[in-house]
Amino acid sequence: QAQDKYRKHKDAMAPLRLWASMRMQTLYRTVRGMMYYRDAMMLLLEVQRPDLTPAERGVVVDSKFQCIVSMQRYKHFDAIYLEGTEAMFAEFPALNIAFIDEEENVHVPGGIEYYACLIDSSCELDERTGRRKPKDRVKLPGYPILGDGKGDNQNVALPFVRGRLVQTIDANQEGYLEEALKVCNMLAEFPRGDWSKERISILGFREHVYSALGSV
């Protein structure tokens, strides 16, 4: 009954959902905050290379920046969750999502094989299930959830991470465009070559941490 009511008014609900999502502890708010890094890189590149077209700048930035959300239970999402996921793909075409897939196999312990999978907005959409077909799949040695939710969730995404530097965050962190514009200064703290002389242990970078009790 609740889903029928939602579908009837979903066009009117969309802007309200975005408004509420930016004021609560939601995944959308975190993804929006992390995507400020991509926006900042596009702005910086526009200043540095004004000769490039927006499309060319997008190619350069996407070769430098990657955002992966680990959604373990994407395979089991209902229609409303899938619609929300597609809305994020529409707003953030560069977004990647990692999730756990399962296949029955009587020849393995427990009778189920597990895979880490990766999808993005370019993946084929299965009209029957409403889910996207993975572009990458990595077979896992067994059931991947061992008890530590945050670490287990990040492990699902790590096989698909590329680049020298990785920032891992929780789903109650946001960002600021003003701070994201300092990304060049942040990256400069990680020198190439011999790190033995000055190994970076902790690098502070301002972010917005929030919860149901408030924000800091």
What is the spatial distance between Cα 162 and Cα 150, in angstroms, rounded to a whole number?
A: 20
pLDDT computed for residue 150 by the predictor: 75
What pLDDT, on the 0 to 100 scale, is given for residue 170?
Answer: 81
User: Rounded to two decimals, what is the model's pTM?
Assistant: 0.83
Please list the pLDDT of the chain residue by residue as tens digits (216 residues). Answer: 555 655 666 677 788 888 888 888 788 988 998 999 999 999 999 999 999 999 999 999 999 999 999 998 899 999 889 988 999 999 999 999 999 999 998 888 888 999 999 999 999 999 899 999 999 999 998 888 777 677 788 888 999 998 878 888 887 778 888 888 988 888 887 777 665 566 666 676 666 666 666 554
DSSP for 106-138?
TTSGGGEEEEEEEEETTSPB-TTTS-BPPSEEE
